[in-house]
Structure 1
């Protein structure tokens, strides 16, 4: 073997030895103990340590400091049990106190029991038993635990895990977060203590004084009280229920917004609003909804549907107002309508159809399309139209058309149009059906008169102070009051250009004949894709079953042997034990960590 090769081999062996030495686990070290006791009953490699009158036992291992009143060290297993007023510190961030701790230097697994309190910079965890994996930097409990964070509130659960590197808690089973403003219940809550961010999985509720939120997946920021909720999400407040594919909630602003497949239900006023984007302002009692917006006034016999580009519902529950604007339409089984905007007062039962003058592009003249109502075969227009409902009976009561009232109906057989016009129109409903109409002031009529065989008798053109029209069993009965003039003309003698009054505008192609027709001229619309929250990632087992069994075995050591060993302690040690018990019973002040460190 040449010299160079020998040097290389020697260097390699040195590095290998250094590497093996660096990988060797550190042993548990007892920095301070008042008394040390060896007991043959326990074994040669088992040592009992008892605190002194001045300070607790101080134990150190790989960045962890532990203080206690009594400890049993199993040298072969490099395993220690600590009893009474146990304090564990890891760096400057983790502090834990309990009545009992066991710790393995080999696995770096710890178990704490009895009034366990784990304190980290943002929160405090209390539980009865806690497992601590120092390798993964994770703590775990499977009996009831409680976490307190000042700005977020108190969180309790049956099972919990704390990920120290991420300042993250995962709470499972009967999770409850109690805050002065609300209470949150869920199956699983992932909570980040440094940011206050919470992720909800499974059926979850957030209940406040005036609101209740439900979702099956969601996010809630406990620092600023905002949330984002998905999967069967809904919000209830002020007798309103808001449902949507996704919901955003801001408690401080009393604001919520919803996206895609939205349904807002008003339980007091028996109304439903649908659309694909909504904003709700609870403090202002208002809802704004757009994107195929539809308002439904639920009535026992026949509901009324209103559609527009935008719907706005405002007012307290006892006095709600619905506004529909931009290409507003309404529909019920025997009546439909259209206007620039529709204004409905749910308390008074008044619904107004209103139009505005619009200017043609590039021109200076106004194009005015009057609001219109269709009932049976009749088209009614005017400068404005009012529908008045009986809010007690939930039925339509009166129809009013103001200024330039105009009724048009197609002749039953021919191509002509029956027409009545005047200054005002008043219609009366019976059982939600229009059965009587009065045209008042400057009334005029063009009417195709037919006999019982539907043969045309002639065309009646007349003027009068008032015209009444009744609907009975499918027939129209027209009566003229205070007729000024009038005559029935044979069809051949009645000029074509005289068969329509000035302002004639037949708009049958605009008439909604179904709920779907309300959306017939809407701009094509595609639902936006909602970016959801990721599914919860299942966590790995906290520890293997063998470790769990070994810890249980350690806790089941013969207590009689321990008591025998204590009886054989020196007199001075027994006095220390009595004082330790007095401290435990809070008859003496508890020792301080700082004092212990100083004396060590």
Structure 2
């Protein structure tokens, strides 16, 4: 045991000196100089090394050679200051030139000044002042710097270069210039090996067909794709796209946005909002879901269309808008609701369609229940519904020209004088005409029925309730209300005193008053489920 302990102590004694020596600072070596002198008054402790016609000053430390015209070497401090055409080389991986340099051998820190130019196989950096930390392999500057790599030119007022990671961290007036795009930022990190940038402050990317603005994001400069957040905006294909998060990929001509999404189409004078959206440039289309809302400016008025999903396709004047599921419409002189909608700007045609009923619903629903599933429009005080509704607008003025309703036509208007009375007309087909954007006249054909409250023009006393059937009738409107009715073919019916007509006979079969679905404001276009999305 004593022999083993003695051997261990001897081995430890041999190791300790070697370990302590390896941890000592390596001394700066003088490899070459034309001559040397001292000036203790001006440079106490310095060995002044100078060049001659045949040879320059060369110092060496830990794998780096520093060549200059003049050097002040302080051996006790392991420090020197070199001037005049300084060349700093570190193997084949790094070369730096400058006017002067200060070097601390203990900390392995170099401070280069004046026309600094650092060069590596994959990049170059030029600035007026550069700090080089050889231990941490970092170079940093706070004067304007210009970096050139294989694909881009980068400038900034402040930057850090991580040599081993091939990464830059830039601050203040950062610019990346490339033939295909330009990037400006207040702060970003740039990975040279992958040509990728992480954006941390107000940034702008400008490509040949797009512009992106954000305060935070990631961008692959080779593939021209990335994710952008915080005040993110994409200018793309004559559209301004915003969202809490944006994704863009140029090669696929594709962009997507998530939460608080808005797509402003400057050519079509429209805005679509929602919580998720996708844009396909080649198809000239946009898809919006989750609280989707389309806003079209028409003759100083706005048409609001809400649905679960909105799909807009086509260029200016040929734009088509499709809306799916729980469609709701709001305009100053029009309200509407349907299961789906189709709007073609090139023809001015708008279709409102119902959701097909299931076999069970067809078998069990009453006529009134089926009518509640049909698309419905409200013009002022009139409610109009049917299996299919077609609106035709003037393609130039965008004002409504005509109206058609096919199948199960039902018009209801609350009687203005009685408490529970409703004027009603039903039939198989409706055609209407607008004048100056207001509904002026309609004609209803096929199995037409009517219930209408008649009043004395002078004292507004109820004359009776007109209940008539005919093959067709015409109806005129004045100030948004039914003004007069003309029976066109073989009317049959009578005017009944109110007391002689039972209440259950005062409504036509299939009567469904849907005023509770009437949207009075933009907020009414959304239901509780929309706010959960």
Using structure 1 for the length normalisation, give the TM-score: 0.77
- Structure 1 residue corresponding to 2:466, chosen from 459, 478, 484: 459
- The within-5 A match list for 1:77-88 is 77-83=77-83, 86-88=86-88
* Aligned position for 1:436: 441
Q: 1:521 to 1:73 in 2, by over 3 A?
A: closer
* Aligned position for 1:591: none
8 Å CA contact 2:353–2:375 kept in 1: the answer is yes
Partners of 1:370 and 1:344 in 2: CA distance:
18
* Aligned position for 1:593: none
- The within-5 A match list for 1:354-503 is 354-360=353-359, 369-412=373-416, 413=418, 415-430=420-435, 432-440=437-445, 443-451=448-456, 452-472=459-479, 475-490=481-496, 491=498, 494=501, 499-501=506-508, 503=510
Establish whether residue 50 from structure 1 lines up as the match of residue 51 from structure 2: yes
Question: Displacement, 1:456?
Answer: 4.4
Question: Displacement, 1:480?
Answer: 1.3
8 Å CA contact 2:188–2:201 kept in 1: the answer is no
8 Å CA contact 1:335–1:375 kept in 2: the answer is yes
Q: 1:22 to 1:130 in 2, by over 3 A?
A: same
- The within-5 A match list for 1:82-481 is 82-83=82-83, 86-91=86-91, 93-120=93-120, 122-151=122-151, 153-299=152-298, 301-360=300-359, 369-412=373-416, 413=418, 415-430=420-435, 432-440=437-445, 443-451=448-456, 452-472=459-479, 475-481=481-487
Q: 1:37 to 1:270 in 2, by over 3 A?
A: same
Which structure carries more helix by proportion? 1
Q: 1:326 to 1:519 in 2, by over 3 A?
A: same
8 Å CA contact 1:462–1:483 kept in 2: the answer is no
How many residues are treated as equivalent by the alignment?
521
8 Å CA contact 1:38–1:44 kept in 2: the answer is no
Q: Deviations over 1:355-404 (max 9, x none)?
A: 34232569889978322112233221233222233454454343332344
Q: Deviations over 1:137-190 (max 9, x none)?
A: 221122211122324x21111121112243221112111111222211111112
Partners of 1:482 and 1:360 in 2: CA distance:
37
Unpaired runs of at least 5, structure 1: 527-600
Partners of 1:358 and 1:57 in 2: CA distance:
94
Question: Displacement, 1:519?
Answer: 1.7
Question: Displacement, 1:244?
Answer: 1.1
Q: 1:392 to 1:181 in 2, by over 3 A?
A: same
8 Å CA contact 2:381–2:481 kept in 1: the answer is no
Q: Deviations over 1:88-133 (max 9, x none)?
A: 3335543333454332213322122344332345432222332212
8 Å CA contact 2:204–2:211 kept in 1: the answer is yes
With a CA cutoff of 8 Å and minimum separation of 6, indicate the structure with the bigger relative contact order. 1
SS at 1:342 equivalent: strand
Q: 1:398 to 1:116 in 2, by over 3 A?
A: same
Question: Displacement, 1:194?
Answer: 2.5
SS at 1:195 equivalent: coil
Establish whether residue 517 from structure 1 lines up as the match of residue 524 from structure 2: yes
Question: Displacement, 1:260?
Answer: 1.0
Q: 1:306 to 1:40 in 2, by over 3 A?
A: closer
Using structure 2 for the length normalisation, give the TM-score: 0.86
Q: 1:418 to 1:9 in 2, by over 3 A?
A: same
* Aligned position for 1:30: 30
Question: Displacement, 1:197?
Answer: 2.7
8 Å CA contact 2:383–2:411 kept in 1: the answer is yes
Which structure carries more strand by proportion? 2
Partners of 1:141 and 1:75 in 2: CA distance:
28
Q: Deviations over 1:189-215 (max 9, x none)?
A: 121222333222322111222222111
Q: 1:214 to 1:328 in 2, by over 3 A?
A: same
Q: CA RMSD in A?
A: 3.5
8 Å CA contact 1:450–1:458 kept in 2: the answer is no
Q: Deviations over 1:548-576 (max 9, x none)?
A: xxxxxxxxxxxxxxxxxxxxxxxxxxxxx
Q: Deviations over 1:421-477 (max 9, x none)?
A: 3443233445544343333565442323233434241323131443122224x6522
* Aligned position for 1:539: none
SS at 1:202 equivalent: coil
